[in-house]
Structure 1
């Protein structure tokens, strides 16, 4: 096992930060002059399309959502809304405690690290400036690929970019988007992060996975020990 592919939200990010999303959407809605509930409904309802790139960039997305909500922002207002939206997205993707040191430890141990995220434009546009970018060898984003988990093409793409057969990849995630079932079918070895210390995190999973991997950990900081045990028992 030479590589590890991680989910992003709720796996590398702080699971509790997802509770901030409603407020960040409300802040963007206020800039656009849209009632927050209406903006939330439009954004939430468009998630399946937004994460495969159908709404385009953040600028395109906010312009389209504003139109669907009956607003027609001028360029200045739209620019302010984009700034607000990116600032909110940064709050939601803050690293979970121990995530960055764990990634550093795994890289130092010789693992190739990949990412497979169902995400919209905000993460892709900001990726290079995040603290994750320098630690991930092969990021794969649904927004760029035009497919979302558990599409087998995403797992194949992650393995190919890592230069490692899927059978030699771990897949680590919190269980949304049927990701572990997809990883298993792709030949990867799935590990569930239960987020037991974040009891509300499960409420934010999209399309939760009925398949439960044999291996699980409560927090990402437990991953190196699990991999060590496996390496010495295999």
Structure 2
């Protein structure tokens, strides 16, 4: 393998917990809930899957079903889908639903997996080009810059900027073209077997990692270094 494509959420980075997400948003808004109310709201938001990157909803409401399927094709669809899920939960101020969505896009809401820097730095030293290929509805570049990983990424191919979402092979093809890479000698690394597995249609190799909290997956990316170069 002479090039590597990485997924973002659950692969290189993991979003904060639902508790941290809600608490931070409340603090920024100058609001405070009693602990029992806070816990109930956090568990309810978790159950409906309102935190992007935090886990899929157990059930998508009928009125959101169409937008949910194609949510990563545009910024507007992504926001509408996730704020729609959030609004199933009653919060002390209706404006918090938009504020919650805004917070999840901030660099502070994300943490890189412990071995992400080492793996990306090593690939750069070996001269292996890297692209981030993500189903997403917002610009993740500031997250990479804030956490110091941007210097190791040669291209960002984001679904909402192309109107195409994984597993559509066209998104992976766009990434390979951006790197000048032969798909048959390119490795796709991700946590979603359906979405990221779409790269196999081009002949790419695929390596899967587990979508776990950062504290529970200290070295899940290290095997990538044995597969390339």
Distance 1:167 1:8, change over 3 A: same
SS at match of 2:223: helix
Query: What displacement does 1:129 show?
Result: 3.6
Mapping of residues 106-185 of structure 1, within 5 Å: 106-121=123-138, 123=140, 126-180=143-197, 182-185=198-201
SS at match of 1:121: coil
| Cα deviation code 1:30-63 (max 9, x no counterpart) | 4498x556755383556544422152686x8888
Q: Which residue of 2 aligns with 1:208?
A: none
Query: What displacement does 1:112 show?
Result: 0.8
Distance 1:37 1:224, change over 3 A: closer
- Whether the aligned pair in 1 keeps the contact of 2:78 and 2:136 (CA below 8 Å) is no
Q: Which residue of 2 aligns with 1:188?
A: 204
- Whether the aligned pair in 1 keeps the contact of 2:112 and 2:147 (CA below 8 Å) is no
- 2:37 is the counterpart of 1:23: no
Q: How many residues align?
A: 201
Q: Which residue of 1 aligns with 2:11?
A: 11
Distance 1:38 1:171, change over 3 A: same
Aligned-partner Cα distance in 1 for 2:25–2:85: 10
- Whether the aligned pair in 2 keeps the contact of 1:7 and 1:115 (CA below 8 Å) is yes
Q: TM-score, normalised by structure 2?
A: 0.66
Aligned-partner Cα distance in 2 for 1:49–1:128: 28
Q: Which residue of 2 aligns with 1:99?
A: 116
Aligned-partner Cα distance in 1 for 2:22–2:199: 35
Aligned-partner Cα distance in 1 for 2:43–2:203: 42
Give me the CA root mean square deviation.
4.0
Aligned-partner Cα distance in 1 for 2:124–2:116: 12
- Whether the aligned pair in 1 keeps the contact of 2:112 and 2:214 (CA below 8 Å) is no
| Cα deviation code 1:96-121 (max 9, x no counterpart) | 11211111111111111111112232
Unaligned runs of 5+ in 1: 202-217, 229-234
Distance 1:42 1:49, change over 3 A: farther
Q: TM-score, normalised by structure 1?
A: 0.65
Unaligned runs of 5+ in 2: 32-40, 51-56
**Greater relative contact order structure (CA < 8 Å, 6+ sep):** 2
Aligned-partner Cα distance in 2 for 1:191–1:62: 28
Query: What displacement does 1:161 show?
Result: 0.6
